[in-house]
Structure 1
Amino acid sequence: MKASGVRADFRYYDLVMAAFVAILLLSNVLGAGKVATVPLPVIGDWPFGAGILFFPLSYVIGDVLTEVYGYARARRVIWAGTAAVLFMALMSWIVVALPPAPDWGNQAAYEAVFGQVPRIVFASVCAFWAGEFVNAYVMARMKIWTGGRHLWSRTIGSTVVGQGVDSLIFYPLAFLGAPGWTPGLVGVVLFTQWALKVGWEVLLTPVTYAVVGGLKRAEDVDVFDEGTDFTPFRTRV
């Protein structure tokens, strides 16, 4: 069913939203600040941000949301994710700042893991917000341009642009000039992150097709954003 109106009887929308927010929070807590290396033939050890292993799944889910449920519902999920990241940052700051018990000796380790630098939090929120909205916008527009055909072109094309915006905002804002982060390292990790995210999207294309097809059949919907207000500054569907 091709649809553009408002429906409130979706069976799986809330579950997709929950998966999106969970992956977003976990990837920010566990992977955002660590630089790992992978050995490449001829080149040798190549640095990459550890969050790349799981964070791109949020973009895949974002593609699924826009493709199946439309831009307006994807926009609502992006705002939910943004609020969750901000609350996580606030909670981390409060918990880390609480005075430790005298016989608890793990404060330093706790601060190292959860004591997020405000600069990194700010960069993460800005990059996520901008990148996700660009991704959703490109995805929705391309669906109209292609008449709903060639899903692969929309998922990959939106990721190229959206992840590019995300990486261009996050790494310079978060790490340029920080101890241990030379401009060259920032540039290498930025490009590597973008390339790996796009590569993940390509590799996961069969999964995206299966999930999108299954959800469209289960929900009996296929939203085309014709006449949609694409402003990011609202949450109402």
Structure 2
Amino acid sequence: MTTEDQTLNDPGVEHANVAAHRPTLLFIILAGFFVANTLVAEFIGVKIFAFEDTFGWEPFNFNLFGQAGALQFSAGVLLWPVVFIMTDIINEYYGKRGIRLLTLLTAGLITYAFFMVFAAIWLAPADWWQTQYVSAGVPDMQSAFKAVFGQGLLIIVASLSAFLLAQLTDVVSFHRIKEVTGEDKIWLRATGSTVISQLVDTFVILIIAFKWGPAITGQFEPWSWGQLLAVATVQYTYKFTMAVVLTPVLYWAHHGIDRFLGPELAERMKDQATRWN
């Protein structure tokens, strides 16, 4: 049994050099990538892009639930499938405890980031900075900064609620599928748990931000159920498709991690991840 293998079973052992302890180093790398992806997804989510125009295609002009139009997405959907794949990878090697810790930490960091953004918006802008980019078509930098970064409170509450619920759903469904199918079918438990959690994520954020929230606050007219279901269907279809498309990436990641840890240590971590739940 290797030194790393022995210390894996002894949480009381202190590691002065975390870079020398591969399970710890791996968790730091995965956690850093997970947090970065989640934060970026939150901030770029304010942009809505036209799918067909992006690729130079004619509008599809679909009709769903009485709603007709082209395909439009929040830019955040580009990264959320990656976040949920990262959840499955961390879940595989560190179990429910590991991903729950990381989920709560990330939610706290998102909250902290938004508070810092609102603080930056509150700061009085310098006069010269306000008009610095007039020639580039931005007459008021303070207004532009506030519009881009100052997402409404409803969006923040909806996003955090959806993130937490979807993550917890992913964790539970991942291990339920693993218990039934065993160790071999990585694609099934990863894709299955992602498909379920993405469904939760899609509907929770839309319902809170555009249905219940506006009805309570009166900030704007709540979406109709037809509009909400149409947008949710389009976004969930994209997320479902990406979950399937990214399956090879999941296997590549598992292969790379197993090589980094070594076969024996990797298997031991997977076993303990299941028993630590």
Say whether the fold is shared (TM-score over 0.5): yes
Equivalent in the alignment of 2:196: 161
Q: Which deviates the most, 34-43 or 162-171? A: 34-43
Gaps of 5+ in 2: 2-7, 16-20, 53-58, 63-68, 131-140
Specify which of 4, 20, 26 is matched with residue 12 of structure 1: 26
Contact 2:60/2:71 (CA < 8 Å) preserved in 1?
A: no
Cα-Cα RMSD: 2.4
Q: Which deviates the most, 181-190 or 167-176? A: 181-190
Q: How many residues align?
A: 227
Q: Tell me the percent identity.
A: 27
Quick one: which amino acid aligns to residue 208 of structure 1?
A: L
Quick one: which amino acid aligns to residue 165 of structure 1?
A: V
In the alignment, structure 1 residue 34 sits paired with structure 2 residue 47:
yes
Give the Å deviation of 1:49. 2.2
Quick one: which amino acid aligns to residue 266 of structure 2?
A: V
Once residues 99 and 274 of structure 2 are traced to their aligned partners in structure 1, the CA distance between those partners, rounded to angstroms, is 15
Q: 1:41 to 1:169 in 2, by over 3 A?
A: closer
Quick one: which amino acid aligns to residue 228 of structure 2?
A: V
TM-score by length of 2: 0.74
Higher helix content, 1 or 2: 2
Give the Å deviation of 1:58. 0.5
Contact 2:31/2:102 (CA < 8 Å) preserved in 1?
A: yes
Quick one: which amino acid aligns to residue 93 of structure 1?
A: F
Equivalent in the alignment of 1:216: 258
Once residues 180 and 152 of structure 2 are traced to their aligned partners in structure 1, the CA distance between those partners, rounded to angstroms, is 42
Give the Å deviation of 1:190. 1.6
Residues 35-64 of structure 1: CA distance to partner in whole angstroms, max 9, x if unpaired?
A: 322236574722222211122110011111
Equivalent in the alignment of 2:241: 199
Give the Å deviation of 1:227. 4.8
Quick one: which amino acid aligns to residue 47 of structure 2?
A: K
In the alignment, structure 1 residue 111 sits paired with structure 2 residue 127:
no
In the alignment, structure 1 residue 187 sits paired with structure 2 residue 229:
yes
Quick one: which amino acid aligns to residue 223 of structure 2?
A: T
Q: Which deviates the most, 63-72 or 198-207? A: 63-72
Q: Which deviates the most, 143-152 or 19-28? A: 143-152
Give the Å deviation of 1:226. 4.5
Equivalent in the alignment of 1:24: 38
Residues 107-126 of structure 1: CA distance to partner in whole angstroms, max 9, x if unpaired?
A: 00000111121111011111
Equivalent in the alignment of 1:235: none
TM-score by length of 1: 0.86
Equivalent in the alignment of 1:100: 125
Quick one: which amino acid aligns to residue 28 of structure 1?
A: E
Give the Å deviation of 1:168. 1.4
Equivalent in the alignment of 1:171: 206
Q: Which has the higher contact order (CA 8 A, sep 6+)?
A: 1
Give the Å deviation of 1:102. 2.8
